[in-house]
Amino acid sequence: MIGDGEAETGPLATAWHSNKFLDPVGDGAVLPILHLNGYKIANPTVLARIGDEELDALLRGYGYQPYLVEGDDSAAVHQQLAATLDEVFDTIAGLQHGARDGGDTGRPRWPMIVFRTPKGWTGPKEVDGRPVEGTWRAHQVPLPAARNDAAHLAQLEAWMRSYHPEELFTPEGAPLPEVVDWLPAGELRMGANPHANGGRLTRDLELPDFTEYGVKVSAAGETVSEPTRVLGTWLRDVIKANAANRNFRLVGPDETESNRLGAVLEVTDKVWRGRIDEVDVHLGPSGRVMEILSEHTCQGWLEGYLLTGRHGLFSCYEAFTHIVDSMVNQHAKWLKVSRGLRWRMPIPSLNYLLTSHVWQQDHNGFSHQDPGFIDHVVNKKADVIRVYLPPDTNTLLSVADHCLRSRHYINVIVAGKQPQPTWLDVDAAALHCARGLGIWDWASNDDGDPEVVLAAAGDVPTREVLAATDLLRQHLPDLRVRVVNIVDLMRLQPASEHPHGLPDAEFDAIFTTDRPIIFAYHGYPTLIHRLTYRRHGHEHLHVRGYKEEGTTTTPFDMLVLNDMDRYHLVMDVIDRVPGLARRAATLRQHMADKRVQHREYIRCTGEDLPEVRDWRWPAS
Amino acid sequence: MIGDGEAETGPLATAWHSNKFLDPVGDGAVLPILHLNGYKIANPTVLARIGDEELDALLRGYGYQPYLVEGDDSAAVHQQLAATLDEVFDTIAGLQHGARDGGDTGRPRWPMIVFRTPKGWTGPKEVDGRPVEGTWRAHQVPLPAARNDAAHLAQLEAWMRSYHPEELFTPEGAPLPEVVDWLPAGELRMGANPHANGGRLTRDLELPDFTEYGVKVSAAGETVSEPTRVLGTWLRDVIKANAANRNFRLVGPDETESNRLGAVLEVTDKVWRGRIDEVDVHLGPSGRVMEILSEHTCQGWLEGYLLTGRHGLFSCYEAFTHIVDSMVNQHAKWLKVSRGLRWRMPIPSLNYLLTSHVWQQDHNGFSHQDPGFIDHVVNKKADVIRVYLPPDTNTLLSVADHCLRSRHYINVIVAGKQPQPTWLDVDAAALHCARGLGIWDWASNDDGDPEVVLAAAGDVPTREVLAATDLLRQHLPDLRVRVVNIVDLMRLQPASEHPHGLPDAEFDAIFTTDRPIIFAYHGYPTLIHRLTYRRHGHEHLHVRGYKEEGTTTTPFDMLVLNDMDRYHLVMDVIDRVPGLARRAATLRQHMADKRVQHREYIRCTGEDLPEVRDWRWPAS
């Protein structure tokens, strides 16, 4: 039932077009009932005032066969609605039969009902001389002064008595047997229907062993791979392994291939019930991939799917995930509240893969740069949100495996699609992800007593921190550097704030309480301060990240524009480690020069400096 | 021109229904051209595959008269488009004439054009044996290997030569005179059209003196008023004063009256070109108030209006402003970039009034609680964003006056609509807002040497801090308390981070560097830490705010659930002021008891404790 407000999930929304993505063979059916009662809080609704002809055209244009049920005589409308429901249920069954047994692969014209009754129906007709039933005034408390005004109170009593309570209740106030006798029992009760308590129906996904999909790494950074492309091969086999159970879907706004998850299309189609032309590939009348260029609709589809106990992943351009901020809020609130209800079983997590992210903008530019979805999610209750920034392909596999096994969370995974070094072999990746963060001893030379900690969260920041470490090793070989990598962002919060929070003693041991920490972070730097402000070492923490500087430019230039490039990180180290400022003044100057050279070079060639593009972590 | 992706601003969106809100007498016209080229990045578009009949029904259902221009022969299509444009321009002129001179008050059926041409039109037909022109493949670089592959390079050359550059350019590469001679000159050039550089056309609003609308306050908190209702009277006169210039609009999702700005309807209508029934009030074919229950559409309308140099205010339920997060991002980015272009003149600010906020949830509940829009906005560049939390009616007037005078900002104002004490008379309010924050000496007894600072940002937090101060005064009269109030949130940031940032010396003087600061904040507490983490006193800062605890409950219970009530604030003071823990242990226990009593009382009565409801700041 769709109310006739016009909010994003309402009758004016894109979601009407979902019928082009519904498979009558494998999926159920949806019967939209547009309750056109004419008014919102203070205004008529748009669809109530466009006339029957335009409304009919609109609903047919959405691909539906509209049925009108209309009236203000309760008994007649009830009969009319019942008869119409009988008819449309038969229609739906016929369409499903045609697709399932008759081989129809086209798009059915599904029925829908326009249900037009007065707003505030059976409520007070008039209050204080102004019409209420059938107007927007019925949206609010119709008799606001019943407490103090005798006339209002009398009208309230007359209104309540109009329902003949004496025919419905015992003198003690219990419903009479004939009122409740006919109610369905057990799971046929609406509230006890297992489909409305999806966790009861959830079956675990069959998950192929992700370690078998890992990239071989004999030395850190030696192998280059595209994280999401490799993830795609694992997701392909997730889809295959669960095909019979039909309980996994991948949704996204036209980006499965752009986000390099295309391997999934080797085993399934993008579901499409519109016309299919000869030129099309990977479209089919059924399929586990759902793509529509409306993030709202993707989110709505996936939420509904999860709520019925099944599993899914939403892959999205990072910047545009903000489009669903408000919907995410409501899902997070639902998770929080339902977690406290004993009869509600946990449902599969809402998993986001944010890719095509802020740090790679060769083609898109400033409009595509916003890593703030993480900030938005982190405002929600700690017990329902998780954020992961896998630094490479193998850690991405481990994180994805973990998220698809989890329940009742909102998991945000941020990972790039561009070729990048793989730092950890798959076993080390699994351990690193289980830990959530850790010292990368193979990149550190601190001997347990660092002079500076270089920390990174995110794939691009990790590479820059390692490149900066390499520069420091070359130019200041005696400087004791500790490299720390963070996959699970919530490890940074105190244990009192988030269940994943690292105990203070462990945090202090890793980050130190008195040495400068230069932290390269994928998103807005303030988030790291926000997560760590209670940590002992916080005053020594210096964070680099995205600060709303960007355009369509080279990958390294994005870093330079935001002062998170390897050269700037080295300068930050020099500025903050006591005693280095004077000793390493020449190196600092050299680093600043590099940034100037970089700008000149990209202006002339459109490409990053060869020493940047070709940089590799030195073999030990 | 609307591309045929389906994003929130695209062809599947609510915005099509804007024609119900366009006044053909006073407004201009919009000619939507749906460029139906068939594909997105990797998929067909929905509207390209629903068939002509359904598409026609959809567009008629949206209220348009569709015209089809279709083909793949350039010369023919150009002629066809030109002829169609001539026809629809005449149609538009006719409709405007009918409304302006013929007295038609109905809704015109405006024309629109479906422009159907191949995607990648005139590009390579095939590449590597696969069709490109007329398919989704044309969305990307069609000849990706031209750099290394001789065949691709040759095809690139043939493609470029197909445009006959020798007929268009001189040998030096300049366009031939006959190619450019006919171009319009001066302001007729598209890029020099003043309507596309709205700041050039902006005229200041005539703003009535807001101090004349202020609530009389002879003693702090003595007068109770509804902030947005009083603001409504000033906005009414803003609309009246600028009626002739037609350069101010109020937009919102069906909430002008719910947000208590209804006074504006004394002088204007809510514009409505749908059918108007006898029962309707304040609807009319023209009017400066625009209401549709689609925050996206409200935002889109207002952005367009501002970009053409005019002024407006978007009033919205606080929680649901998140619906437009992604659109706000793009506007903020536009403001940032255009600020750096010398020829772009500043445009009027994008002003939000967030009301019906998190702390008053008698009717709505958890779904309506999210004060995080501020957090979202604060991620954008400091030079384009401003956030104001006026503590009462008079400060709201001052802030609103300031925002409507400003240029090229995004101003977020958060203010409640419920009756609440007015703390400052209108002159003091103007001074307080100009300062942005300040010590309220009339509420303080610190004699220049506070033992604790009680700070507040937001109307409800301000009241709680004052109530806590009152309790402290009664029970610990010797405790030296300083009360600080913050209107302009950006004052909290260091001057190096935001142009409004308070210099450290001033901040230290007001907040101290060594005394506990108990800070009651309207939104998520982490934001205050984030803004102040570089301040000297930060380690002594203890923030209370919304922590995602709430339901449909009494106003005071919202505070108790989130530990921001007066009793808890007193407990926080006792816990943090050295020496108080033991001395005030009985008081602390008494405060904890009050919270228990509160819960019992609301459970029985549904109302807050009389001592809470009736609390007033004591007359001095």
What is the pLDDT confidence band of residue B9, given thresholds at 50, 70 and 90? very low
3-state secondary structure of B131: strand
Contact A43 B533 (CB under 8 A): no
Q: What is the pLDDT of residue A191?
A: 84
Alpha carbon of A324: minimum distance to chain B alpha carbons (Å)? 7
In chain B, which residues have their Cβ closer than 8 Å to the Cβ of A300?
none
> Rounded to a whole number, what is the distance in angstroms from the first to the last CA of chain B?
65
CA distance A220 to chain B (A): 30
> Considering CB atoms only, which of B42, B279, B330 is closest to A254?
B42
- Minimum-distance CB partner of B20 among A7, A46, A60: A46
Show residues of chain B in contact with A256, CB under 8 Å: 42
pLDDT bucket at A225, cuts 50 / 70 / 90 = very high
**Would you call B8 and A131 a contact, using CB atoms and an 8 Å cutoff?**
no
DSSP letter string, B463-483: HHHHHHHHHHHHH-TTS-EEE
How far apart are alpha carbons A446 and A478 in whole angstroms?
Answer: 9
Instruction: State the Cα–Cα distance between residues A391 and A414, nearest whole angstrom.
Output: 9
Round to whole Å and give the CA distance between B1 and B10.
Answer: 10
Q: Largest Cα–Cα distance of chain B, in whole Å?
A: 94
Query: What region does B531 belong to: left with phi over 0, alpha with psi -120 to 50, or beta?
Result: alpha
Q: Write the pLDDT tens digit of every residue in A359-376.
A: 987 788 999 999 999 999
- The pair of structure tokens assigned to A124 is 């007070």
The answer to whether B279 contacts A134, with C-beta atoms less than 8 Å apart, is yes
Q: Between B103 and B2, where is the model more confident? A: B103
Quick check: A43 and B272 CB within 8 A? yes
Binary contact (B17, A54; C-beta < 8 A):
no
Distance from CA of A106 to the nearest CA of B (A): 11
Is the predicted pLDDT of residue A85 greater than 90, yes or no? yes
Residue B494 in 3-state DSSP? strand
| Termini Cα distance of chain A | 65
Provide the pLDDT for residue B8: 39
Residue B390 has pLDDT above 90, yes or no: yes
* pLDDT above 80 (res B12): no
Taking CB atoms and an 8 Å cutoff, what residues of chain A touch B537?
A: none
Give the model confidence (pLDDT) of B255-297 as tens digits: 898 899 999 999 999 999 989 999 999 999 989 999 999 999 9
The ipTM of this complex is 0.95
- What tens digit of pLDDT does each residue of B403-422 get? 999 999 999 999 999 999 99
Residue range B133-175, pLDDT digits in tens? 999 999 989 999 999 999 999 999 999 999 999 999 999 999 9
How many CA atoms does the CB half-sphere of A319 hold within 13 Å?
A: 20
Instruction: Return the closest-CA partner of residue B257 out of A42, A38, A126.
Output: A42
Least confident of B104-108, B175-179, B237-241, B335-339: B104-108
List the single residue in A10, A59, A254 with the smallest CB-CB distance to B293.
A10
Nearest CA in chain B to A331: B367
Cross-strand pairs, B2: B34
Whole-number Cα distances in Å, B354 to A82, B85, B232: 43, 42, 14
Q: Do A296 and B548 touch (CB under 8 A)?
A: no
- Choose, out of A58, A296, A497, the residue to mutate when testing the contact with B (most B CBs < 10 Å): A58
Q: What is the pLDDT of residue B361?
A: 79
Amino acid at B186: G
> Mind listing the pLDDT tens digit for each residue in B572-598?
999 999 999 999 999 999 999 999 999
And the tokens for B8? 């929130």
- Of B325, B372, B379, which has the smallest distance from its Cβ to A524's Cβ? B379
**Tokens 């029985």 belong to which residue?**
B604
- Chain A residues with CB inside 8 Å of B44's CB? 272, 274, 277, 280, 283
Model confidence at B451: pLDDT above 60 = yes
Query: What's the Cα-to-Cα distance from B430 to each of B133, B416, B425, rounded to whole Å?
Result: 63, 19, 9
Mean pLDDT of A600-615: 96
Average pLDDT, chain B: 94
Which secondary structure element, helix H or strand E, spans residue A52, and what is its range?
Answer: helix A51-61
| pLDDT-above-90 percentage for chain B | 91
Residue-wise burial string across A52-86, b where 16 or more C-beta atoms lie within 10 A, e elsewhere: eebbbbbbbbbbbebbbbebeeeeebeebbeebbe
Nearest to B6 among A135, A276, A293 (CB): A293
Closest chain A CA to residue B296: A8
Gap between the Cα atoms of B393 and A18, Å rounded: 46
Spatial contact of A246 and A302, defined as CB atoms under 8 Å apart = no
| pLDDT tens per residue across span A539-574 | 999 999 999 999 999 999 999 999 999 999 999 999
Q: DSSP string spanning B78-96? A: HHHHHHHHHHHHHHHHHHH
Q: Is the pLDDT of residue B10 over 60?
A: no
Minimum distance, in Å, between the CA of residue A50 and any CA atom of chain B: 6
Nearest-Cα distance to chain B for A30, in Å, is 19
> Is residue B329 within 8 Å of residue B336, measured between CB atoms?
no
The closest CB to that of B333, out of A275, A367, A372, belongs to A367
Contacts of B330 in chain A (CB under 8 A): 367
Q: CA-to-CA distance for B249 and B244, rounded, in angstroms?
A: 13
Q: Do A529 and B526 touch (CB under 8 A)?
A: no
Q: How close A68 gets to chain B, by Cα (Å)?
A: 16
Q: What is the number of H-type helices and E-type strands within chain B?
A: 18, 20
pLDDT tens-digit readout, B18-70: 999 999 999 999 999 999 999 998 999 999 999 999 999 999 999 999 999 99
The answer to whether the CB atoms of A379 and B323 lie below 8 A apart is no
Tokens of B411: 């101003």
- Residues B6, A42: C-beta atoms closer than 8 Å: no
For A425-463, how does the pLDDT look when each residue is reduced to its tens digit (9 = 90+)?
A: 999 999 999 999 999 999 999 999 999 999 999 999 999
Residue B449 to residues A614, B482, B515, Cα–Cα distance (Å): 61, 8, 10
Instruction: From B465, B444, B470, B443, select the one nearest B455 (Cα to Cα).
Output: B465
Asked if the model's pLDDT at residue A11 lies above 70, the reply is no
- Reduce the DSSP state of residue B550 to 3 states and report it: coil
How close is the nearest chain A Cα to the Cα of B342, in Å? 18
**Chain A, chain B: beta-carbon pairs less than 8 Å apart:** 233
Interface test with A, best of B255, B298, B329 (most A CBs within 10 A): B329
pLDDT of A4 > 60? The answer is no
CA closest to A524 among chain B residues = B379
Min distance B321 CA to chain A CA atoms (Å):
8
Taking CB atoms and an 8 Å cutoff, what residues of chain A touch B7? 253, 293-295, 320, 323
Of B55, B58, B329, the CB nearest to A322: B329
Q: How far apart are CA A284 and CA A13, in angstroms?
A: 25
- Distance (Å) from the C-alpha of residue B186 to the closest C-alpha of chain A? 29
CA distances from B206 to B71, B238, B242, B247, B427 (A): 51, 7, 6, 10, 20
Among B31, B36, B57, residue whose Cα is nearest residue B47: B36
Residues of chain B with C-beta less than 8 angstroms from the C-beta of A276: 49
pLDDT for A229-279, tens place per residue?
999 999 999 999 999 999 999 999 988 988 999 999 999 999 999 899 999
**Residue B278 CB contacts under 8 Å (≥ 6 apart), including other chains:** none
- In this predicted structure, what is the pLDDT of residue B619? 74
Range A540-576 burial, b when 16+ CB lie within 10 A, else e? bbbbbbbbbebeebbbbbbbbbbbbbbbbbbbbbbeb
The answer to whether the CB atoms of B135 and A12 lie below 8 A apart is no
**Residue to test with chain B: of A2, A9, A14, most B Cβ within 10 A:** A14
Q: Quick check: B44 and A274 CB within 8 A?
A: yes
Contact between A23 and A286 (Cβ < 8 Å)? yes
pLDDT band at B7 (very low <50, low <70, confident <90, very high): very low
pLDDT at residue B181 above 80? yes
Q: Do B6 and A14 touch (CB under 8 A)?
A: yes
Angle between helices A585-605 and A459-475 (to 10 degrees): 130
DSSP annotation string for A333-400: HHHHHHHT-TTPPP-B-EEEEEES-TT--SSS-GGG---THHHHHHTS-GGGEEEE--SSHHHHHHHH
Sign, Cα dihedral of B425, B611, B525, B411: negative
Reported in sequence order, the residue ranges of B218-291 that DSSP labels E, i.e. its strands, are 223-225, 248-252, 270-271, 283-284, 289-291
How far, in Å, CA of A249 to CA of A310, rounded?
8
| Number of residues that this document lists for chain B | 620
Q: Quick one: angle between helices A325-339 and B325-339, nearest 10?
A: 140
Please tell me the predicted confidence (pLDDT) of residue B190: 86
Residue type, A539: E
Tell me, what's the pLDDT at A104? 85
Best of B37, B39, B50 to mutate (most A CBs within 10 Å, chain A):
B50
- CB-nearest to A294 from B6, B62, B524 is B6
Per residue in A331-348, pLDDT tens? 999 999 999 999 999 999
Residue B69, beta-bridge partner list: B115
- Closest to B417 (Cα-Cα) out of B224, B599, B548, B265: B224
Of A6, A45, A295, nearest to B14 by CB-CB distance is A6
Determine the distance in angstroms separating the CA of B204 from the nearest CA of chain A, rounded to an integer: 30
Query: A376 contacts in B (CB within 8 Å)?
Result: 322, 325, 372, 375-376
